[in-house]
Structure 1
């Protein structure tokens, strides 16, 4: 089972606009951040974290010097820091989301991201319906909340994003 932290944009935008910008951040170890940390930081648009990462790793030769034994120690320290970064990369991404104005909206879990998104949006949309003021009509494009537990789309079903078209 995969667990995601879910972040929702702040603001008074419509439910549809907020739903389109909701971010799912996987909890736990990031393999991509282990093998290509600079590209991962660039892809996630985490500029402050990128600057900090570069400052730390570019300062290692200055700290340990040019002695061959110290270079070996610097390599081990670099490997350890990269491993720690891979374990904490998704936590840093959540922190960056909050810094950008997103707010924590909850936890979603499932066998994969599709199932986690389906479960989250089923709960989230029903919560949005309850928050709507009495007397205001539901938007014409509002999604209907299914009364059954979410399932994976069958083969041949047309799927847009994570949701089957029905």
Structure 2
């Protein structure tokens, strides 16, 4: 439990009497020194001035505080413990969000590197395909001719095969 909540619960149990930082340190927060207890009181006051009844600080630095009706509702809603856990949860979510943003940036960088490598390969492949297409076109034009009267294309290369009716030449 938060020390500030302990102070508020103590004031709630001792409603009719004001306490200063020395008395709170003596009865409740013995592990802290008087200045630390006074700092806790200032933190409670800075969070909500109406949470405790606060008297004017004396010239010797004594800060008397007393129970107010708001304390019970505040403690039943979780008090400073809940506020701090909400803040920690918020911080954790923020850290998670930053971590995910870092991961996204890393993945984006990897994607850009991959795209640059693939982009170079695609350009080289495209150039090779272009050259091959050009060569195929040139070779097609060179070795195929068309006859305007005949819609069928014929090869310019003549196969010299012996037909069945032609006699074979013999060596003499």
TM-score of the alignment, normalized to the shorter chain, above 0.5: no
TM-score normalised by L of structure 2: 0.24
TM-score normalised by L of structure 1: 0.24
Compare the two structures and name the one with the higher strand fraction. Answer: 1
